[in-house]
Amino acid sequence: MRGIVLSDVHGDTEMVAKIMETIKKPDFAILCGDLSNYGDKMPKEVVEAIGIKKVFGVPGNMDTWDILEEMEAMGISIHGKNIELEGVKIAGFGGGIHNHPGRILHSEKEILEGIENAAGNGTKILVTHLPPINTNIDLTGKGIHAGSAAVRDAIEKLQPELHLCGHIHDAKGETRIGKTKCINVGPVKEGNALLIELGKKITVKRIETE
């Protein structure tokens, strides 16, 4: 089963459609948050640009509670939930951190509890908006680590096979925390996406669209 992973759309549905034109139509899509800039585009518009039925995702800090409400109504939200695709358990928790910019914000305690409640045992893929703190994938252009301690704690404890995130546009890349491969997908506006294959083995391939 083949999917595409996108993050930090920020309302750029034109680039989403352009990315989708460059690949063979996938079976599903995963969104790592920030579909909008404070609600300038709604989830329905993003899903229409993706052009497939099976879309799942979490909100980002720049999304609004109305965005999350529509995601829930559309059945695409995995915020605080888990789903199973091709025998692979995928759990999610979105939003940003209290006292940081944005609308959907949580304390680190709420983030950790939310991930643990959503994931439980056997989660192979964890989807968050925030990257784990003190890594190369949470480092801003000003050299500040702006990730989440709770996300890192959850990864260290749960050790999913794969962690997908975004948020820090300057920190596209990957790292490892224990057995977990952690990937900051990078923002859609720069043509970033991942292709992911689910099965006995999970594989990922980065694609970049100009």
Question: What are the tens digits of pLDDT across the range 59-116?
Answer: 999 999 999 999 999 999 999 999 999 999 999 999 999 999 999 999 999 999 999 9
HSE, side-chain direction, 13 A CA sphere, residue 16: 26
Q: Tell me the C-alpha distance between 37 and 21, whole Å.
A: 24
Beta carbons within 10 angstroms of residue 176's beta carbon:
11
Angle, vertex CA 144, rays to CA 182 and CA 109, nearest 5: 60
Position 203: which residue type? T
Q: Whole-angstrom distance between the N-terminal and C-terminal Cα of the chain?
A: 26
Cα(108)–Cα(105) distance, rounded to whole angstroms? 10
Residue 210, pLDDT > 90, answer no
Q: Cα-flanking dihedrals φ and ψ of residue 56, to 5°?
A: -135, 145
What's the confidence (pLDDT) of residue 173?
98
* CA distance readout (Å), 135 to 10, 60, 145, 149, 192: 24, 19, 7, 11, 20
pLDDT in tens, 1-56: 999 999 999 999 999 999 999 998 999 999 999 999 999 999 999 999 999 999 99
* 81 CB-near residues (< 8 Å, 6+ apart): 91, 92, 118
- Give the model's pLDDT for residue 121: 83
Strand order in the sheet with 81-85: 81-85, 88-93, 125-128, 162-165, 180-184, 173-177
